[in-house]
A and B are shown apart, each in its own frame.
Chain A
């Protein structure tokens, strides 16, 4: 599953999730107090393809999301609701899901959307020829069939809890993609979907323009057009914002707190703040005997001052992470073992593990070897790099010499993380709305091999059993109990030192009305954003081509 609210931007770029625009279901143009105007959004990278299933970059997912719908979507509380499916039914044995589709939905080219399209999309995902990284969820489906034009059914071989959420998959048009190589298909340059916006123009490396779909099944979106401008440099983005060249962007904590408080920004923009769905952590490579010792890992967690990092790096705009899930959500368990900043306790634990502070101020074992390690992190996340500086400093105070290395993304991932060539890694994970499959990939012992996602090599039989059991349970309260226990075990064992969840800090021009701020972001009702007639700044002129 591939998740991202349409606007989790730039710094905390989330890769993934086909969470499409979720919108209040009532339709009709009457829902728009005003129509017209254009929203201009900045992105640091261009999209690679408008077929999101074959891409993994944020920009592609974000931009194509305007053009497509899934069978289901997440609403503002992050629960699943119908999108192209009006309703769905799960069988008694938890093996079959039947989707009842909306009728009279049409693709942008006028062709109707039917259950045959839904079936095609499943086949597309499991076709070995499709170069997608997201096939796993769909391979769990044993059988899929079209019952009639508007009824689509899938049957799983065994109960699969994340199955339902996987049907947020964007629905591509069968009549344009079937039998084609997706990398060569015109759809990758010119999306044709069922979504609220239709594709207009793409100037590679420069901009992408979408205009409203007047026949959208939930009523036309209020804003006439969405324009993405590709601006690779964050400093330039902020200048464009200052010159009103952009309507919607994301701020850094420093910009949010210091710069965007000026009178100009107060008069022209609204700032928003919500906890982002991603956390930063240090993963301890347990192939190293030192980090195999649970006392060492706990000592590390005690030696690092998370509050200081949040204060110094995020200027207070973040929250301490206690585990792999997002505080404030249904699945989060706040009652897990915590590791307060306590260097004395850390030294005590190190001592128990055989490492003592030597007279020269270094932590040494009985053989006199000093405790050094290399902490690697990826380029492109300034906050995380800065957190590394504080970590280095705090660990030096308990006598550990940390060598901090920042590595460019591709080689970071492929040469170091995937090959397990590191002592400790400073990294972030996104937190999808349904946590199960990701917890399984990240913490189950079967995923320790090079290239898989259990990067620390953590293995706990107790946790493995719970993770396996959890994937098969569909009942919510039962799942919650299992999840609580899972989080306790992870916190107890500290395969990671959990650091923080940053706050997402979007800023939107004042003239946009109807923005609803929720704990999951501001974009869930994007198609109802509007600008009163007299305040409209960028009329969109349709150039029929």
Chain B
């Protein structure tokens, strides 16, 4: 099973491109302090809005800060937002979905009705209201994106559990006296992990994109801290004079989200025996 999964993934060229993209991004984010030629918040009144050059490989922004350095540090923030937000939503979704799917009856009804309830609200409306009304610190952004996007995972896990819990090996484990917790964690979860993994991968991409949308409204990560979203927002008033300010962060977001999506799709395809 394991090896055939990797083989299937390997054969999918787009998925591999996505995988390399994701790895590259993680590396740059991790190595940002080593790679960045300048501190990310060092302004220079004599170097405002300079085009790319040897001195400033990606040019400078409207306070004369080096764009390359800000992009590198921004990669950290954007990735952090994506990973933590997707982490929160996945964890929450798995827990609620598992409980609902395993225990059934009124527990399930309660959780699933709440899930439906949350799904009724237009997602961006809800996030917007909460973030604007609280305070758009990085932590809040990650938590709120996480708290408003767990519903898909919860439904997914519940559905998997509903079918899995009647399998023979689960029944066997129970008759051998395994506790509920043990059955959930040891026997059910590992078999439901595949779709969760796909959802989490796509979740990272979604959160990065969402942060850039919030940044446009001034509700994303707040300057002077750099995120790709707020660098891009900063660029929009000078779109024509300073193309480098919008092209680089725009492409960075596009390629990152694209990579995560291709990877996620690839994993899904590779996991689905019917599609092999």
Chain B hits for A238, CB < 8 A: 237
Instruction: For residue A261, give the distance in angstroms from its CB to the closest CB of chain B.
Output: 10
Determine whether A67 belongs to the interface, using a CB cutoff of 8 Å to chain B: no
Q: Are the CB atoms of B63 and A313 closer together than 8 Å?
A: yes
Q: Which residues of B contact A411 (CB under 8 A)?
A: 133, 135
Q: How many angstroms between the C-alpha atoms of A309 and B62 in the bound complex?
A: 12
Closest CB of chain A to B141's CB: distance in Å? 13
Assembled-state Cα–Cα distance A44/B240 (Å): 20
Whether the Cβ atoms of B44 and A312 lie closer than 8 Å is: yes
Write the nearest CB–CB distance from B240 to chain A, whole angstroms.
6
Whether B132 contacts A254 by the Cβ 8 Å rule is no
Classify the secondary structure of B's interface with A.
loop
Interchain CB contact under 8 A, A390 and B62:
no
A234 located at the interface, meaning its Cβ lies under 8 Å from any Cβ of chain B in the complex: yes
Residues 23-75 (chain B) with a chain A CB within 8 angstroms: 41-46, 48-49, 62-65
B273 at the interface (CB under 8 A from A): no
Identify A406's interface contact among B43, B46, B223, B236, CB under 8 A.
B223
Return B118 CB to nearest CB of chain A, in Å.
Answer: 25
Task: Determine if B222 and A406 form an interchain contact, defined as CB atoms under 8 angstroms apart.
Answer: yes
Q: How far is the CA of A379 from the CA of B221 in the complex (A)?
A: 12
Q: Which residues of A contact B41 (CB under 8 A)?
A: 389, 392-393
Given the complex of chains A and B, what is the CA–CA distance between A211 and B46 in angstroms? 47
Q: Across the interface, do B240 and A259 meet the contact criterion of CB distance under 8 Å? A: yes
* B238:A380 contact, CB within 8 angstroms: no
Chain B 195-252 interface residues, beta-carbon cutoff 8 Å to A: 218-219, 222-224, 234, 236-242
Q: By the criterion CB–CB under 8 Å, are B49 and A254 in contact?
A: yes
Check A12 for interface membership: any CB of B closer than 8 A.
Answer: no
Instruction: Tell me, in angstroms, the Cα distance from A238 to B240 when the chains sit together.
Output: 10
Closest to A408 in B: B132
B237:A252 contact, CB within 8 angstroms = yes
- Which residues on the B side are within 8 Å of A233 (C-beta)? 236
Q: Which residues of B contact A309 (CB under 8 A)?
A: 45
Q: A interface, by DSSP: helix, strand, loop or mixed? A: helix
Check A315 for interface membership: any CB of B closer than 8 A.
yes
Q: Does B136 contact A (CB under 8 A)?
A: yes
Chain A residues in 8 Å Cβ range of B65: 389
Chain A, interface residues (CB within 8 Å), range: 20 to 34
CB distance from B100 to the nearest CB of A (A): 36
B134, closest chain A residue (CB): A411
A183 at the interface (CB under 8 A from B): no
A258–B45 contact, CB under 8 A?
A: no
Q: Which residues of A contact B49 (CB under 8 A)?
A: 254, 258
Q: How far is the CA of A385 from the CA of B61 in the complex (A)?
A: 13
Whether A390 touches B43, Cβ cut-off 8 Å, given contacts A312-B48, A313-B63, A385-B223, is yes
- Select which of B218, B236, B239 is within 8 A of A379 by beta carbon: B218
Give the interface centre of B63, B133, B236, B240 by most chain A CB atoms within 10 Å.
Answer: B63
Min C-beta distance of B234 to chain A, whole Å: 8
**Contact partner of A254 among B135, B136, B224, B238, CB < 8 A?**
B238
Interchain CB contact under 8 A, B135 and A312: no
B218 touches A234 (CB 8 A): no
CA–CA, A354 to B21, complex, Å?
53
* Smallest Cβ-Cβ distance to A308: which chain B residue: B45
CB neighbours (8 Å) of A287 from chain B are: none
Question: In the complex, which residues 22-60 of chain A have their Cβ closer than 8 Å to any Cβ of chain B?
Answer: none
Docked-complex contact B218 and A312, CB < 8 angstroms: no
A258/B241 in contact, CB under 8 A: yes
User: A348 on the interface (CB 8 Å rule)?
Assistant: no
Using C-beta atoms within 8 Å of the partner chain, give the interface range for chain B. Answer: 20 to 34
Are B222 and A254 within 8 A (Cβ)?
A: no
239-272 of chain A: CB within 8 A of chain B: 252, 254-255, 258-259
B63 touches A254 (CB 8 A): no
Q: Is A311 an interface residue (CB 8 A)?
A: yes
A390 lies within 8 A of B240 (CB)? no
Interface residue A472 (Cβ < 8 Å from any Cβ of B): no
Interface centre among A234, A309, A393 (most CB of B within 10 A): A393
Other-chain residue from A235, A389, A408 in contact with B63 (beta carbon distance below 8 A): A389
The one of B136, B218, B224, B242 in contact with A389, judged by C-beta atoms closer than 8 angstroms, is: B224
Measured between C-beta atoms, what is the minimum distance from B231 to chain A in Å? 13
Asked whether, in the complex, the Cβ of B241 is within 8 Å of the Cβ of A404, the reply is: no
A390 to B43, CA, bound (A): 6
Q: With A254-B49, A313-B63 in contact, do A388 and B241 touch (Cβ < 8 Å)?
A: no
- The reply to whether the CB of A405 lies closer than 8 angstroms to some CB of chain B is yes
**A392 CB to nearest chain B CB (Å):** 7
Contacts of B238 in A (CB 8 A): 252, 254-255, 258-259
Please judge, given known A-B contacts A252-B237, A254-B237, whether A311 and B222 are in contact too, CB under 8 Å. Answer: no
**Contact, CB under 8 Å: B236 / A235:** yes
Chain B 138-172 interface residues, beta-carbon cutoff 8 Å to A: none
Most buried by B among A252, A389, A406: A389
CB proximity of A426 to chain B, nearest CB, Å: 12
Residues of chain B contacted by A103 (CB below 8 angstroms): none
* B234 (CB) vs chain A CBs: closest residue: A382
State how many angstroms separate the Cβ of A515 from the closest Cβ of chain B.
Answer: 25
**Complex contacts, B241 vs chain A, CB 8 Å:** 254-255, 258-259
Known contacts A311-B45, A312-B63: does B237 contact A388 (CB below 8 Å)?
A: no
Scoring A residues 290 to 321 as 1 if CB is less than 8 Å from chain B, else 0, what string do you get?
00000000000000000011011101000000
- A386 interface hit (Cβ, 8 Å): yes
**When the two chains form the complex, which single residue of A235, A312, A379 contacts B43, counting CB atoms closer than 8 Å?**
A312
Please name the residue on chain B nearest to A412 by beta carbon: B135
- Taken together as a complex, chains A and B put the C-alpha atoms of A332 and B219 apart, in Å, by 39
Tell me the nearest residue of chain B to A232, going by C-beta.
B217
B residues less than 8 Å from A312 (CB atoms) = 43-46, 48, 63-64
- Given A254-B49, A393-B42, A406-B223, 17 more contacts at CB 8 Å? A233-B236, A235-B237, A255-B238, A259-B238, A309-B45, A311-B45, A312-B64, A315-B48, A382-B62, A386-B43, A386-B63, A388-B224, A389-B224, A393-B41, A405-B222, A408-B219, A411-B133
Binding site for B on A (CB under 8 A): 233-235, 238, 252, 254-255, 258-259, 308-309, 311-313, 315, 379-380, 382, 385-386, 388-390, 392-393, 404-408, 411
28 residue pairs from A and B, CB less than 8 Å apart: A238-B237, A252-B237, A254-B49, A254-B238, A255-B237, A255-B238, A255-B241, A258-B49, A258-B238, A311-B45, A312-B43, A312-B45, A312-B46, A312-B63, A312-B64, A313-B45, A380-B218, A382-B62, A382-B234, A390-B45, A392-B224, A393-B42, A405-B222, A406-B223, A408-B135, A408-B136, A408-B218, A408-B219
